[in-house]
Structure 1
Amino acid sequence: MLESTQTRAELNRLLQERNEYPERSPDIDAQIQALFEQDCAILVLDMSGFSRLTIRHGIIHFLAMVHRMNAIATPLVQHHSGRVVKQEADNLFAVFPTVQAAIDSAVDILKGFAAVNTGLPEEQDLYAGMGIGYGKTLLVGENDLFGSEMNLACKLGEDLARRGEVLLTEAAFKQIEAIPDQWERLNLSVSSLELIAYKLKVPAAVGLR
């Protein structure tokens, strides 16, 4: 189901207990993992042009675009058996049972943006870059998630993916049956971290204006 009935308050309680009793760390870690940890794919979407659009047209204009982004992306995430965990500023975070489901959702979101853009003035066009990771993740309540692959998906989606790009972590890429000519291997560097990532050669139908 990719959700947790356990709250952030329960996680905080266990973390406080861990800090107070470091000798019990292994047992407490096991409790946290049992309560919160799941294997999942994580998609991080970052809208392109936040600073430029806000300076040129004001924050209300951009907030309206974020609202439109959510209205398009959320149903497509759900269509592919995913769940939107949270939306912060111009970022959207979602989890999926499989990497392929996350990829299919990402492509459909880009197609959705492209379709809407054909009927909008240029200053309202929607663009995004996305990062996808896969691995053990702490899902906390309805609105929080933590983990190494979550962090890497954020790096790819927020810092490295250009508009219209979908980047996979190495762990995520290993989860799919990849057709070689659909993917490009990249050696990337961000925040003193060297990464291997894989870029989807997005279908021409997605398009960019």
Structure 2
Amino acid sequence: MSQRQRIYSRGSLDRLERLIEERLQPGANKAQIDQRIWDLFGEHWSVMFTDLSGFSRRVAKFGIIDFLQTIYESERLLIPVLEEHDGILLKVEGDSMLVIFRNATKALQCAVAMQRVLAEYNIGRAGEETILLSVGLGYGRVLRIGDSDVFGAEVNSASKLGEDFGKGREILVTGEFRRECGDLPGLGYAQLPDPPAGTYSAFRVDWQPA
């Protein structure tokens, strides 16, 4: 992140923190403050959370250095795919990435492209050398704080789908994301019987290697 981006993100966070402090004061007009926050930071985005499958098992078997290598290799392979599909990488935490997209179609196309890149990479590799990715996608109105973070119900849902519900090679999406994205050629949806708490519906995307 450039110095200019850091200043922008820090300025946005400072403004949000001041408004939250104002909201905490006795007698504060919370509805009015909330509206100011949404006016300042409210935007519609597609949100992607990614997670590498098998973290605990892999660390226990091969050690943390092996898994750090896997993280490095996954970023080398996947970040160019994110850039190609106009994704904005907000942050990386361990083996997870948080990415936002203006266009839901591009977000789903990116998720499929990422899975296909890894499917090709894994061909002929031993199990411990493969990289398995799960992806969660949501869409909706969020609070975007500079280029550092986003908050909102669909952010939480995408996180749960990508990190808690998803398995290796899976792409899971919220109902809101599916409605925004619509159907794409060659892809199908299968509804999940038990979506995450706070999510009315969720779907598994049926995709095939290239």
By the TM > 0.5 criterion, same fold? yes
The code of the aligned residue for 2:69 comes to A
The code of the aligned residue for 1:57 comes to F
Q: Within 5 Å, which residues of 2 pair with 1:15-34?
A: 15-34=20-39
CA contact (8 A) 1:187 1:195 kept: no
State the partner residue of 1:87. Answer: 92
CA contact (8 A) 1:131 1:168 kept: yes
The code of the aligned residue for 1:182 comes to G
State the partner residue of 2:105. Answer: 100
Give the 3-state SS of the residue equivalent to 1:20 in structure 2: coil
* Gap change, CA 1:105 and 1:22, over 3 Å in 2: farther
Give the 3-state SS of the residue equivalent to 1:175 in structure 2: helix
TM-score by structure 1 length? 0.88
Determine what percentage of the aligned residue pairs are the same residue.
Answer: 29
Aligned residues: 202
Q: Which runs of 5+ in 2 are unaligned?
A: none
Give yes or no for the alignment of 1:49 onto 2:37: no
2: CA distance between counterparts of 1:204 and 1:112? Answer: 9
1: CA distance between counterparts of 2:23 and 2:93? Answer: 29
Give the 3-state SS of the residue equivalent to 2:47 in structure 1: strand
Aligned pair partner of 1:188 in 194, 205, 210: 194
State the partner residue of 2:155. Answer: 150
Aligned pair partner of 2:65 in 19, 40, 60: 60
CA contact (8 A) 1:131 1:166 kept: yes
Q: Which runs of 5+ in 1 are unaligned?
A: none
Cα deviation for residue 158 of structure 1 reads 1.0
* Gap change, CA 1:101 and 1:194, over 3 Å in 2: closer
CA contact (8 A) 1:96 1:102 kept: yes
TM-score by structure 2 length? 0.88
State the partner residue of 1:129. Answer: 134
2: CA distance between counterparts of 1:94 and 1:86? Answer: 7
CA contact (8 A) 2:119 2:209 kept: no
The code of the aligned residue for 2:28 comes to E
Cα deviation for residue 175 of structure 1 reads 0.8
Aligned pair partner of 1:166 in 163, 171, 174: 171
